[in-house]
Structure 1
Amino acid sequence: MKNQILGISLAIMGTTATSAQAITERDVANSYADLAHVIYTDALWAAQQLKSSITNLLENPSEQTLADAKNAWVISRIPYQQSEAFRFSHPVVDEKDLQLNSWPLDEGFIDYVDDDYQGELGNTGATANIIAADSLKLGAKNYDLSKLTPSLLSELNEFGGSEANVATGYHAIEFLLWGQDLNGTESGAGNRPFTDFATGEQCTNGNCDRRRDYLVAATDLLISDVSYIVDQWQPDTSDNYRAELLALDEKEILTRMLFAMGSLAFGELAGERMKVALEANSPEDENDCFSDNTHNGYFDNAKSIANVYTGEYRKLDGTLFSTYSLAELIDQKNPQLAQQMQHQLSETQKAFQTMVDAAESSESPMKFDQMIAEGNDKGAQLINTAIESLAKETELIEQIAQSLDINNLNPSLAQE
């Protein structure tokens, strides 16, 4: 699906060329906010296209309209996954991400599951099956499920305090479109029949009207949540997060940039998303586990870090957004370090491209859930190479911070 290494390498090299006029830390801070707005705007557009495809699916359920909706979901993931280098030091993003991108989820909380299904240990909502239920009780509180709305799904998200009770966001929609992936670490993704969204006698597995309503509500909430983030990064607005951020000292803004980049690179992508799944040989711990799209998502996560560093983003319509960059700023201060970071970003993208190529091989595809299978030495090597590259990238991010006289990569609002 992706073959962007040459373009990435050239883009990184191009953005670090010395400018005719030196750029300032304030230039980079302002451009960082511009970049965030562009990427989230692209994510909103993609979510709206997903909504259109889902509308077509529900108006005319068929194998083709279901395939089209799945494809729209895959495309919608690209800009959102490439936005994640903004997440970890901006509370306005990180808090909304809990409703947009939480995983893994207990499928039985949402819909029917296989007879052998086992939810997270101790999760009382693991088999709640919202789609089939009229009500849901938690202590003295009784939830009326008779009408599935965006606000109800938002209220049910992380029901009972369990992070496995994901009722909203990309992965709830993914599960509804694909169904359970019952293949473990063998080949194959979820295989929900289009008739699960049919009406009347064509309906399979029951509650098709409710499943349709859930899909609509979840998609509408997704659009609302992404739209909220777009508004928070909107320029020329005095009372949003962007205005609050840009009112801060430049060093604090740069600290947030670097903290988020490093957090995504090492703690999240290399750690939670890859190493945990590999060590546990657990397909439940892969990010896009129902669609087997994980390899593309992780490629885009790695690209997200490069986007922030280079000040560039390739939009879904093919146009390139380019602005003042951290890469240029570092090149002015420490050309050798800038060159090292350029090289490492390129090496990281190569490592993830190798994973994409393996997953999408026409002869013998090996998806991420197969790579993490016990005894798959080749798959483990692919993943470990990417992890090691991210670790080196993180070390360089720390050196970049030092070159900017930032000695504490803990932004003041990171834990808010």
Structure 2
Amino acid sequence: MKFQARTQLWTLGASGAALVLAAGLSSLNAAAQTPAHTPAGKVETAAAPAAAVTAKTVVAHYATLVHANYEDTLLAALELQKSVRAFIAAPSQARLEAARKAWLDAREVYGQTEAFRFYGGPIDDEEGPEGRINAWPMDESYVDGVDGKPGSGLINDRKFKITKASLSEANEKDGEENIATGWHAIEFMLWGQDLDDNGPGQRAHTDFVDGKTPNADRRRLYLNVVTDLLIDDLRFLVQAWTPAKAGAKKNYRVTFEQGGSESVRKIIVGLGSLSRGELSGERMEVALNTQDQEDEHSCFSDNTHRDIVANATGIQNVWLGSYKRRPGAKGPQTLEGPSLRALVAAKDKALADRVTAQIAQSVADAERIPAPFDRAILDGSPGQPLIKKTIASLVEQSKLLVESASAIGITQLTLVEP
């Protein structure tokens, strides 16, 4: 059983879990004191400094984190692009491994941005590129030959012209599993099908060498174009969240920063939706229920366990108002500022502490999930209880996020259980 990759705000989870988030809002303008930042896993107990926290300051700092995380993702993806180009220029096993490592490194950064979704922002509004960037699960045979169908896919159809425009049009055409672009299309090109129970796909570099495998030239072209398209989409997101300059055309960030309490609602929508519907639901419960490798998020590289950690970390970043930048980024390596935690703590410190501890627990639990995920989901696997524990923690934190919204005046925030 497959599920729509771009989960809508009101459609969450493997069994129809829904998040109904109506905006019965109060002003949220009362000032709060900023609690001192504490390391992940620690409950904040220190005395608060004097800086005031309001909806406006929380929203502004959130926008700063979003921009930094997308900018880091773009920089990491440019490193991937560099490795891909080196590989296709002279395919070798060593260069293929380098491109794989660059993909894994970039995924660590991108995974944290998933906390910025699910509220109709620039990534997943009606015109947003999310479906081109991270859609899954993927029917591999739509792109290239697979076991039992060596001549299948767009690559082996020489009548199909491989361009950014044609791949964008082909993505999810005639079926949501017909994925032609994004992280997972690149992943499939680099690793191939995962036919190994104990490891990732083992695509040979010779698949890209003329005379070794049919249509190797088109395989090189496909990998190059699909990587370039990912770069374009990530640049769009960076631009949407770039700080406004005097006289510049308004972007999404300008509107968001002017949104006040409505933007705070959107932030919580993103965290709650990822916690319950997407991460614990579609990305974990579905795979547990079907025990099918095809329902694993990053199934070709066996990187799903790290995807889960990155997603959980993204939620923690937003809640704490803290983000650790990718090495080499310009400016401060850690960004900290007015947070949701501080806003909630001003109304109910005990609740804010509970949320902080629960989110830290989810991250810790996620880090214990073993690889490969497609073996850990199986009945009798020592990894299955760890997956279930992570799901339970994420479900609990989603409930606490609902309580937090209520504490700061956002009412009618109801998580409907499956």
TM-score normalised according to structure 2 size: 0.84
Aligned residues: 367
Would you say the 8 A contact 2:141–2:149 is kept in 1?
no
- Is 1:338 aligned with 2:352? yes
Which string of whole-angstrom CA distances, capped at 9 and with x for unpartnered residues, describes residues 212-247 of structure 1?
000010000000000001100111154211112222
CA deviations 1:306-350 (Å, max 9, x no partner) are: 011111111220721222211122222211111111111111111
Measured against aligned partners, the alpha-carbon deviations of 1:268-291 in whole angstroms (never above 9, x if no partner) come to 000000001001101110110000
Secondary structure, counterpart of 1:133 in structure 2: coil
Q: Measure the CA separation in 2 of the matches of 1:341 and 1:374.
A: 31
Match status 1:79 vs 2:83: no
| Match of residue 193 from structure 1 | 204
Q: Give the equivalent residue in structure 1 for 2:380.
A: 375
Residue among 204, 208, 221 paired with 1:213: 221
Q: Which amino acid aligns with 1:399?
A: E
Which residues in structure 2 correspond to 1:310-329 (within 5 Å)?
310-317=320-327, 319-329=333-343
Which of residues 155, 158, 165 in structure 1 aligns to 2:172? 158
Find the residue that maps to 2:335 and give its secondary structure: strand
The aligned counterpart of 1:398 is 402
Q: What residue is the counterpart of 1:9 in the other structure?
A: 41
Please say if residues 81 and 227 of structure 2, whose CA atoms lie closer than 8 Å, have aligned partners that are also in contact: yes
Unpaired runs of 5+ in structure 2? 1-37
Q: 1:168 aligns with which of 181, 188, 205?
A: 181
The residue aligned with 2:18 is none
Answer whether contact 2:406 2:413 (CA < 8 A) is retained.
no
How far, CA to CA, are the matches of 1:128 and 1:41 in structure 2? 36
Deviates more, 1:256-265 or 1:229-238: 229-238
- 1:33-182 → structure 2 map (5 Å cutoff): 33-94=63-124, 95-115=128-148, 129-135=153-159, 145=160, 147-160=161-174, 162-182=175-195
1:93 counterpart SS class = coil
1:273 is the counterpart of 2:283: yes
Q: Distance in 2 between matches of 1:209 and 1:13?
A: 56
Aligned to 1:3: none
Equivalent residues of 2:343, 2:408 under 8 A apart: no
Look up the match of 1:363: none
Supply the RMSD in Å over aligned alpha carbons: 1.8
- Structure 1 residues 270 and 241, CA gap change in structure 2 (3 angstroms): same
Q: Does the C-alpha gap of structure 1 residues 128 and 239 become closer, same or farther in structure 2, counting only changes over 3 Å? A: farther
* Matches of 1:49 and 1:214, distance apart in 2: 18
Deviation at 1:41, TM superposition (A): 0.4
Residue pair 1:255, 1:409 contacting (<8 A) in 2 also: no
Moved more, 107-116 or 273-282: 107-116
| Cα shift at 1:90 | 2.9
SS at match of 2:118: coil
Contact 1:259 1:409 in 2 (8 A): no
- Contact 1:19 / 1:328 at 8 angstroms: preserved in 2? no
Distance (whole Å) between structure 2 residues aligned to residue 17 and residue 108 of structure 1: 58
Opposite residue 368 of structure 1, the aligned amino acid is F
Amino acid corresponding to residue 59 of structure 1 in structure 2? A
Q: Deviations over 1:35-92 (max 9, x none)?
A: 1100000010011000001011112211111000000000111121100011101342
Per-residue CA shift, 1:136-178, capped at 9, x if unaligned? xxxxxxxxx2x31111100110112x10000000000000000
Contact 1:24 1:329 (C-alpha < 8 Å) held by counterparts: yes
Task: Assess if the C-alpha contact under 8 Å between 1:132 and 1:207 holds in 2.
Answer: yes
Match of 2:389 among 385, 388, 413: 385
Which amino acid is 1:9 matched to? Answer: G
Alignment of 1:13-32 (within 5 A): 13=44, 18-32=48-62
In 2: Cα distance, 1:388 partner to 1:398 partner: 16
Deviations 1:109-159 (CA, angstroms, capped at 9, x unpaired): 000100179xxxxxxxxx851001033xxxxxxxxx2x3111110011011
Q: How big is the shift at 1:7?
A: 4.8
Structure 1 segments (4+ residues) deviating >6 Å: none
**Structure 1 counterpart of 2:74, one-letter code:** L
Structure 1 Cα separation of the partners of residues 356 and 207 of structure 2: 48
Residue number in structure 1 paired with 2:13:
none
3-state DSSP of counterpart to 1:52: helix
8 A Cα contact 2:114 2:311, kept in partner: yes
- The residue that corresponds to 1:414 in the other structure is none
Q: Secondary structure at the match of 1:83?
A: helix
Listed as ranges, the gaps of 5+ residues in structure 1 are 1-5, 118-126, 136-144, 360-366, 411-416
- Which range is displaced more, 342-351 or 173-182? 342-351
Matched, 1:256 2:266: yes
> What are the Cα deviations for residues 10-40 of structure 1, in whole angstroms up to 9, with x where unaligned?
5x748x8623122111000111111110000
Whether the aligned pair in 2 keeps the contact of 1:22 and 1:332 (CA below 8 Å) is no
Q: Distance in 2 between matches of 1:111 and 1:128?
A: 6
Amino acid at match of 1:325: S
> What fraction of aligned residue pairs are identical, expressed as a percent?
39
* Counterpart contact for 2:145–2:152, Cα < 8 Å: no
The one-letter amino acid of 1:80's match is: Y
